[in-house]
Amino acid sequence: MTREKPKNLWLSRWGFILAATGSAVGLGNIWKFPYITGEYGGGAFVLMYLACILAIGIPVMMTEIAVGRRGRGSPIDAIGRVVHENNGNPLWKAVGGMAMLSGFLILCFYVVVAGWAFAYTWKMLDGSLAATSVEALGGVFEAHNANPWQLGGWSVLVALLTLWIVAKGVQQGIENAVRWMMPGLALMLVALVGYAFTSGSFDAGFAFLFHFDASKITGEALLAALGHAFFTLSLASGAILTYGSYVPDGQSIARTTFMVAICDTLVALLAGLAIFPIIFANGMSPSAGPGLIFMSLPLAFQQMPFGTAFGVLFFAMVSIAALTSAISMIEATVAYLNEQHGISRLHAAIGAGAVLLVISLLAMLSFNLLAGWTPLGKNFFDWLDYLTSRWMMPLGGIFMVVLAGYALRCDILREELNLPPTGYALWLFMVRYVSPVLILVVFLNALGWLLFDPVQRWYWIAGAIGLLAVAGELLRPRVTSVLIGR
């Protein structure tokens, strides 16, 4: 079968690396990673997180890029084509559909958080954060959220910027934007780490992030690390797969994946190194949750030399990081409407934007007019987060590795990945046995169905991987024909 001709390609080798890093680096790195690292025990959590990136994140990311490039299209089309190449069941396209939906739904609440970052860049400048206590700043944060027009206005601004960039196309829009945003982001981060270095409590921040305390390795923490690895690398949400479909033939998927994963991890660690010293220098608690950057940092910045300038720099950095992630969440949908239904990118962006507006409006109103509407104990904003990260991403991840490891003919992805034999064998071992078992553990734990502690009973997990390896190898021809629907 002849391969699909690409309609869009990144202009340069750096195009994909910058865009994928832009997708990966976002609120997950700058806000969530430092905070959960603090909560789950600093150094021990960092170690588990790194292990998860290696054991699951990297193999899954390689798979998504390979499937995207092989199928040359949005998740539904790309998966449809690689499955077709195997004469398989077109039902597999549903995995692409779910990924696309995940990315879209994540965006519906992500624009609200990104809107906070944009608003705080402005508030830092106009003096409305000149409060003198964390309580008073908490009041500013609550007042911001209580006003639907203010909260909505900033979120809509983020959504419009996102749609505008995506509507302009892969090269003119996305690649052009990340070409200057990503180096800008790197410079801002370096400046902030330098500032944190001179702020006096760098050692305390460093120790907090890297002090290894073995007693903090718990099943709960491992699962948090595993879940975060998915979110932070933008996996199972259509973003990486769609960006992968624009990667030119010949570019090394493994090398690129490692670069993106290393950059993403480095930014998370540097963000921690920039934030915690500032928090400690001002005698604040590192475990303030969502309020960590919005309630305590503005106060800390005020008490430091050139604080306003660096505060603006900080929130501008968070805004840019959030924007480059937001773009990737909707690209799959726009690419799908454009390629599959022949709708122009502009019209696709307008249509997707209209739906986005309606759903994200409900997320915004969760903080004010609809605050009392909490079906099954969660408001709409929390439901979106819960549904995507607890259910859709782990499920999508499992289907993806099962597709790559069992359902597809080996030669397709081997050709696409183009690895030396040991590298390929390692990737295959990971996607066939290690990743599915580990993802299943996260998933079952999220459901509360896991009856053992995954760290204390790690030998159950090792046993399951071994069992799957033996059973998988013995039964694979049968498994493959069942999975592919032949």
User: Binder to ligand PFF among 59, 103, 396, 397 (CB under 6 A)?
Assistant: 103
For ligand PFF, the closer of residues 24 and 52 by Cβ is: 24
Out of 9, 18, 27, 361, which residue is the one contacting ligand PFF (CB under 6 A)? 27
Q: Of 15, 22, 28, 311, which lies in the binding site for ligand PFF, with binding defined by CB under 6 A? A: 28
Q: What are the residues whose beta carbons fall under 8 Å from the beta carbon of 372, sequence distance 6 or more?
A: none
| Contact (Cβ atoms closer than 8 angstroms) between residue 310 and residue 281 | no
CA distance 363 to 385: 10
Q: Which of residues 354-413 bind ligand PFF (CB under 6 A)?
A: none
Q: Which is nearer to ligand PFF, 23 or 145 (CB)?
A: 23
Angle 111-115-120 from CA coordinates, rounded to 5°: 160
Which amino acid is located at 327 in the chain?
I
- Is position 170 an interface residue for ligand PFF (rule: CB under 6 A)? no
3-class secondary-structure state, position 431: helix
Q: If binding is defined by CB under 6 A, does position 68 make contact with ligand PFF?
A: no
The three-point CA angle 314-232-143 to 5° equals 45
Smallest gap from Cβ 106 to ligand PFF, in A, equals 5
For residue 85, which amino acid is it?
E
Whichever of 75 and 454 has its CB closer to ligand PFF, that residue is: 75
Residue 393 CB, nearest distance to ligand PFF (Å)? 8
Q: Which of residues 310-349 bind ligand PFF (CB under 6 A)?
A: 325, 328-329
Compute the radius of gyration of the chain from its Cα atoms.
22
Contacts of 482 (CB under 8 A, 6+ apart): none
| Comparison of 27 and 299: residue with beta carbon closer to ligand PFF | 27
- Taking residues 215 to 234 in sequence order and writing x for each that binds ligand PFF by CB under 6 A, - otherwise, the string is ----------------xx-x
Least gap, CB of 31 to ligand PFF (angstroms): 8
Q: From the list 19, 24, 62, 442, which residue makes contact with ligand PFF (rule: CB under 6 A)?
A: 24
Q: What is the dihedral of CA 313, 318, 319, 325, to 10 degrees?
A: 150
Q: Which residue has the tokens 């206005």?
A: 153
26 contacts ligand PFF (rule: CB under 6 A)? yes
CA dihedral 234, 236, 242, 244 (to 10 degrees): 70
Q: Among 21-29, 90-98, 191-199, 421-429, which window interacts with ligand PFF (CB under 6 A)?
A: 21-29
Q: Max alpha carbon distance in the chain (Å)?
A: 68
Give the CB-nearest residue to ligand PFF: 28
Of the residues 106, 263, 313, 408, which one makes contact with ligand PFF according to CB under 6 A: 106
Cα separation, 231 vs 105, whole angstroms:
13
How far apart, in whole angstroms, are the C-alpha atoms of residue 445 and residue 344?
43
Q: What are the residues binding ligand PFF (CB under 6 A)? A: 23-24, 26-29, 103, 106, 231-232, 234, 237, 239, 325, 328-329
